[in-house]
Structure 1
Amino acid sequence: MKPCTPLSHARPLWLRDARRELLLFGVFALLLLGLGLGLRDPWPSDEPRFALVAQWMVGHGQWLFPHRGHELYPDKPPVFMWLQALGYFLTGNWRIAFLLPSLAAALAALALVYDLTRRLWNHRSALLAAAALLVTIHFTYQMRNAQIDPLLLGWITLANYGLLRHLLLGPSWRWFAAGCFFAGVGVATKGVGVLALLMLLPYLVARRGHWRQLARPTGGWRWAGGLALFLVPILGWLLPMLLVAHADGDPQHAEYVQNILFGQTVHRYATPSGHIHSPFYFLGIIAADWLPLSLLLPWVLPAWWRRLKRRDARFLLPLGWIVLVLLFFSFSPGKRDVYILPALPMTVLALAPLLPGLLRRRGVRLAVFTLTTLLAGALTAAAALALHRHPAWAVKIEQSLDPQIWWMLLAIGAAGIVVVALTRVRRAPLGWLLFAGVLWSVYGLWGYPMLNGDRSARDVMVRARAIAGPDAGIGLLAWKEQNLLMAQGPVAEFGFLKPWPQQYADAVAWLQADPARRWIFSLDEAMGQCVDRHRAIHVGHANRREWWMFQAAAVAPGCVPGTSAEQDADEQP
């Protein structure tokens, strides 16, 4: 393998100096991914849950057993929430802290893809690869969210980087050990982090077939020692949790251990309860969510095949790993689009040396130009129609979202049309880059503050506190994580997973213990016919749900929603 060309001597892509290009790209990436940071609270579906768990950790000092309210939350290991808590310790601001792990993972993934591509090929291909990853819709959208999968992408990309530094550019046993270690960190974050180690399977194929561009390190004990490091972060989380659960004898902790080790891994993979899709589901995700990258596939697939026939291991290892990941998730009936997100950086790595030539092809430029034009035109037309004609679909959207959303979409679409007019087909890739910059920047700076009140439930929780007064207690009935997270002042909750009738009975008992100073904040459906809505107060609409508040005077005596007692109360005149 030829030595890596120093960046100071690398052939630049656009500017006169490669280092300036890299600095400019880094600033652009930080703005594209970070604009809007601090301007919104956590949004459903997953963000409020993880932020709530992290807040509980900080407030109660319980780091091994995550809690959602007073109930244990056994669905995910705590690493992501630990990092959110660390972000809070560093910034003192939850609005910033909850998004920091995803932002750090995104920037790290871009840096790793760039550096590995530069070492395997050159600076020009590396910079194009990092830019292609940054403006792929699936990457940008997901990495701006505070969910576990963006962090998992970061760990798996770091693990793959370490393994490929050893397998293609090595031997480098330190990088192999680092790759195994961070695969273990991925497991402690979300069980499927172990998929990073599948990179060893195409390596074995390449080694047996004497493929080119492949390192051939020797030393069996070093392989075993590196793989042993995979267990270090897993045991670092698992052993203290198991020891505490065994020592305190708490049945809830025992149930948590059973769920996190088996219910959320083997059982969830083999017999999922939701998100059931066909085995070909991820092909649609690649075609739509991986735009504009997926537009290149008609040209890329034959080029990949030619390089595989030349037995170039630089293509076999990442492409073989991607195929194994797709097969792994396709065999499970339960599928979500984010499952294959960690495969995106390796896809860009395998695509990287082809990008300089592909982007000079008129067919590729025309495809990217058409995509930018269609998206900008669709946003402009839909926004203009909504503002001037008020069709039924627009009115329905406005029931949940601020009507200013149309002005925001109109601004993005109009800016996109201007970009298309300036860049045309000749500079279509630059046009998409600029359009993506406008889209995500406007969304972060304008869309976040505009949508936050409804999506985060902040508005209804502020109004609930205004109704109850500053000192009254508010009990949450059939609540969502964002309600407890955004609650103002003293609150009580009666379980999250507990059935609504049981929550209602506990809430009413709590309410009647101090009827003058307590209120119930409830989802409309959870009240059934047991609450007189003429004596209740409609708080508002948030997250496509209606929310009410009531005191003891509005409660029908002896009635529990969803029981025969409710039916009897409903039949009375």
Structure 2
Amino acid sequence: MTTIDDDTRARRMFWWFMLAALVVLAAGIGLRDPWPPDEPRFALVAHQMLSSGQWLFPHRGIELYSDKPPLLMWCEAITFWLTGGWRGAFLLPSLLAGLGSLLVVYRTGRRLWNARIGLLAAVLLLAAIQFVDVIKHAQIDPLLLFWVTIGNAGLLVHCLRGPDWRAYWLGCFAAGLGVITKGVGVLVLLMLLPYLFARLRQWPGVTQTRGDGWRWAAGALAFLLPIALWLVPMLVAAYGFNTPEYIAYVQDLLFRQTAQRYANSWAHAEPAWFFLLVMARDWFPVCLLIPLLLPAWRDALRGREARVLLPLAWWLLALLFFSIPSGKREIYLLPALPMVVLAMAPFVDGLLARRWFSRAAFALGVLMGVVFLAAGTWALSAHPRAAQRIAAGYELPDGGAALWWCAIGVGVLFVLAAAWFRPRRGVLALLVGLGAAWVGWPVSTYPLLNDNQSVRALMRSADERIGPDGELALVQWREELLLQARRPPVEFGFSRPAAQQMHDALAWQAQAPQRRWILVNSDALGPCVDPARVVRLGVANRNAWWLFDAAAVKPGCSMASQ
């Protein structure tokens, strides 16, 4: 039985926990630029929004970008505008989404159970590797996670602690925001299925309403409102322009990237059981609790505990939804993690009281430290091929020695945490070790890897090579090249075939051959360029990049052959 003093203590501890979470999640911000595959794309789109004033239709270079709705790009553009600094600002939406998700999980656990359960749920969420890893990247998924978590929380509070119509409407509104973030925010509404089951079966603790049909229907309006606020102006403008490019943008965004991607996936084909491996790997070490808690969940469901049924059922429904199509990615199931930890938290206290559990956590922390120490030491001393490939891919000097010392440093942090807290406080040793590693690794490696990962060094070399009066064109380019360009480059479309881009680039170069240069991916050089007269700038993100002027173009070569 939780006392008032226990509840007050847990609330105070939560804010100390949030301070620690801020340190863990914010570590490294400002130390690097956007890294592929996704960060440069969204940062480039946000940059172009600000510079062009075109907010309804995202652009990637000269082309419309229809892969995703624009909400994340709006958020990044706003943070750029507020802070005036591009390097740190692009990660701020993810940071705020991560902190917000932790806050929502805590408050939901507190409403459903008590403050201690809410705190335990938030700690479990922060302990999961996938959660921290995703929040440390400027992708769409942290924002989607935030909206889905708010949506699920609103429905849980209404369905189990209601009627609370404001929470229900907020949850539906957040689901709508999830739709214009990545399309799958509608999954929040699946929470109503286990609620309907529990209500029909007369489970205790489930909200019962009578004569409130219009309030339930208002949830649909709340869900559609944010979608309409974006969709209606976009459709009016697109069909007002009535050009093939804008019509194709609408068709691709609303149909191909949503329904067709789900029903007929064209990439990332994986077997139906793929997400079982994802949960075992990416939710580590929290996933280790799942088999331990199965008996407790079984007993809770037998006791008709709806506070366990709803989050567990939503997790399984989301798992089923994402397992049906052939196209699957590890990140898809992340929004289910907050519901899993909410179902775990009420039963974790029973594990924390057991001595073997504390010792097992201690041993796990020591094991993780030994793994990092052994891997770093092996890479430094034996120079295995895997280590050599990693060092070459990042263009690191001395065989990547600095990177391997960083790995050793992370191992030392785990060992120090274990030595300080000892087996008696093994859970704390593991959590502190994880937190220290999440701080130490980005702070030490971001400056080391940034020049290569962001192509900052490559674009600096290109700028120096072409001289102060030179002009630069990009062929088969990546978003990070355009983002890191020292002067405005010329490009000929992103999705056009490489041969067509090279054709137009050579024609552009021929108009002023004395000062015009072309930067090209090695796969797109083509037969009209003499490979002996091109300049190899380097390798970035597993792509080799070459620079050439008009002297490298073979005389008399027909550009039509490109």
Scaled to the shorter chain, the TM-score interval is over 0.9
Partner-residue secondary structure (3-state), 2:41: helix
Partner-residue secondary structure (3-state), 1:426: helix
Partner of 1:570 in structure 2? none
Partner of 2:292 in structure 1? 299
Partner-residue secondary structure (3-state), 2:424: coil
Instruction: Say whether the 8 Å CA contact 1:472–1:490 is kept in structure 2.
Output: no
**How many Å separate the matches in 2 of 1:308 and 1:558?**
78
Give structure 1 stretches of 5+ with no counterpart.
Answer: 567-573
Partner of 1:279 in structure 2? 272
Partner of 1:75 in structure 2? 67
Q: Say which of 482, 485, 496 aligns to 1:484.
A: 482
Aligned residue runs from structure 1 range 66-145, under 5 A: 66-145=58-137
Partner of 1:461 in structure 2? 459
Displacement of 1:369 in angstroms is 2.9
Partner-residue secondary structure (3-state), 1:539: strand
1:85-126 per-position Cα deviation (integer Å, ceiling 9, x unaligned): 111111111112211111111101100111111122222222
2:15 is aligned with 1:23? yes
Displacement of 1:363 in angstroms is 4.2
AA aligned to 1:340 is L
Instruction: Say whether the 8 Å CA contact 2:70–2:181 is kept in structure 1.
Output: yes
Partner-residue secondary structure (3-state), 2:469: coil
Instruction: Say whether the 8 Å CA contact 1:57–1:63 is kept in structure 2.
Output: yes
Partner of 1:318 in structure 2? 311
AA aligned to 1:100 is L
- Percentage of identical aligned residues: 49
1:212-245 per-position Cα deviation (integer Å, ceiling 9, x unaligned): 2211133111100122111000011100011011
- Larger mean Cα displacement after TM superposition, 422-431 or 389-398: 422-431
Q: Say which of 417, 423, 426 aligns to 1:425.
A: 423
2:196 is aligned with 1:201? no
**TM-score normalised by structure 1 residue count:** 0.94
**How many Å separate the matches in 2 of 1:534 and 1:179?**
61
- Larger mean Cα displacement after TM superposition, 433-442 or 258-267: 433-442
Q: Say which of 343, 347, 351 aligns to 1:350.
A: 343
1:349-397 per-position Cα deviation (integer Å, ceiling 9, x unaligned): 1111111111223443344333322221111111111112222221121
Partner of 1:377 in structure 2? 370
Partner of 2:550 in structure 1? 552
- Larger mean Cα displacement after TM superposition, 212-221 or 320-329: 212-221
**How many Å separate the matches in 2 of 1:306 and 1:101?**
40
AA aligned to 2:331 is V
Q: Say which of 186, 203, 208 aligns to 1:211.
A: 203
- Larger mean Cα displacement after TM superposition, 247-256 or 528-537: 528-537
Partner of 1:393 in structure 2? 386
Instruction: Say whether the 8 Å CA contact 2:11–2:115 is kept in structure 1.
Output: no
**How many Å separate the matches in 1 of 2:149 and 2:180?**
15
Partner-residue secondary structure (3-state), 2:284: coil
**How many Å separate the matches in 1 of 2:488 and 2:201?**
67
**How many Å separate the matches in 2 of 1:367 and 1:275?**
36
Aligned residue runs from structure 1 range 405-554, under 5 A: 405-554=403-552
**How many Å separate the matches in 2 of 1:367 and 1:542?**
41
**How many Å separate the matches in 2 of 1:284 and 1:362?**
29
Partner of 1:571 in structure 2? none
Displacement of 1:533 in angstroms is 2.9
Partner of 1:569 in structure 2? none
Instruction: Say whether the 8 Å CA contact 1:295–1:367 is kept in structure 2.
Output: no
Instruction: Say whether the 8 Å CA contact 1:103–1:143 is kept in structure 2.
Output: yes
Instruction: Say whether the 8 Å CA contact 2:422–2:429 is kept in structure 1.
Output: yes
Q: Say which of 3, 6, 19 aligns to 1:11.
A: 6
**How many Å separate the matches in 2 of 1:356 and 1:309?**
20
Partner-residue secondary structure (3-state), 1:386: helix
Partner of 1:163 in structure 2? 155
- Larger mean Cα displacement after TM superposition, 108-117 or 533-542: 533-542
AA aligned to 1:495 is G
- Structure-2 change in CA distance of 1:339 and 1:10 (3 Å): farther
Q: Say which of 341, 353, 365 aligns to 1:360.
A: 353
Partner-residue secondary structure (3-state), 1:276: coil
Instruction: Say whether the 8 Å CA contact 1:102–1:146 is kept in structure 2.
Output: yes
AA aligned to 2:361 is V
1:495-515 per-position Cα deviation (integer Å, ceiling 9, x unaligned): 111111111111101111111
1:41-70 per-position Cα deviation (integer Å, ceiling 9, x unaligned): 111111111111111111111111111100
Partner-residue secondary structure (3-state), 1:201: helix
Partner of 1:63 in structure 2? 55
Instruction: Say whether the 8 Å CA contact 1:505–1:560 is kept in structure 2.
Output: no
1:117-165 per-position Cα deviation (integer Å, ceiling 9, x unaligned): 1122222222121111112101010111111111100000011111111
**How many Å separate the matches in 2 of 1:418 and 1:463?**
42
**How many Å separate the matches in 2 of 1:215 and 1:559?**
76
**How many Å separate the matches in 2 of 1:546 and 1:192?**
36
Instruction: Say whether the 8 Å CA contact 1:129–1:355 is kept in structure 2.
Output: no
**How many Å separate the matches in 1 of 2:364 and 2:474?**
46
Instruction: Say whether the 8 Å CA contact 1:102–1:144 is kept in structure 2.
Output: yes
**How many Å separate the matches in 2 of 1:301 and 1:560?**
69
- Structure-2 change in CA distance of 1:312 and 1:558 (3 Å): farther
Instruction: Say whether the 8 Å CA contact 2:499–2:526 is kept in structure 1.
Output: no
2:169 is aligned with 1:174? no
Q: Say which of 314, 329, 347 aligns to 2:322.
A: 329
**How many Å separate the matches in 1 of 2:228 and 2:291?**
45
**How many Å separate the matches in 2 of 1:10 and 1:321?**
33
Partner-residue secondary structure (3-state), 1:534: helix
- Structure-2 change in CA distance of 1:128 and 1:275 (3 Å): same
- Structure-2 change in CA distance of 1:558 and 1:343 (3 Å): farther
Q: CA RMSD in A?
A: 1.7
AA aligned to 1:399 is A
Partner of 2:182 in structure 1? 190
Instruction: Say whether the 8 Å CA contact 2:112–2:157 is kept in structure 1.
Output: no
**How many Å separate the matches in 1 of 2:5 and 2:108?**
15
**How many Å separate the matches in 1 of 2:558 and 2:11?**
68
Give structure 2 stretches of 5+ with no counterpart.
Answer: none
